[in-house]
Amino acid sequence: DTGVSQNPRHKITKRGQNVTFRCDPISEHNRLYWYRQTLGQGPEFLTYFQNEAQLEKSRLLSDRFSAERPKGSFSTLEIQRTEQGDSAMYLCASSFSFVGGYNEQFFGPGTRLTVL
Partner 1 sequence: GQQLNQSPQSMFIQEGEDVSMNCTSSSIFNTWLWYKQEPGEGPVLLIALYKAGELTSNGRLTAQFGITRKDSFLNISASIPSDVGIYFCAGPTGNQFYFGTGTSLTVIP
Sole binder of partner 1 in the list 61, 79, 88, 91 (CB under 8 A): 91
Choose the binding region for partner 1 from 14-22, 36-44, 65-73, 77-85 (rule: CB under 8 A): 36-44
CA atoms within 13 A of residue 52's CA, in its CB half-sphere: 3
Please report, in angstroms and rounded to a whole number, the separation of the first and last CA atoms in the chain.
35
Is the Cα dihedral 8, 11, 14, 15 positive or negative? positive
103-116 residues labelled b (16+ CB within 10 A) or e (exposed): eebeebebbebebe
Site for partner 1 (CB under 8 A): how many residues?
24
User: CB of residue 16 vs partner 1: minimum separation in angstroms?
Assistant: 27
Closer CB to partner 1, 3 or 16, in the complex:
3
Contact between 48 and partner 1 per CB under 8 A: yes
Q: Which stretch binds partner 1 (CB under 8 A): 11-19, 68-76, 79-87, 102-110?
A: 102-110
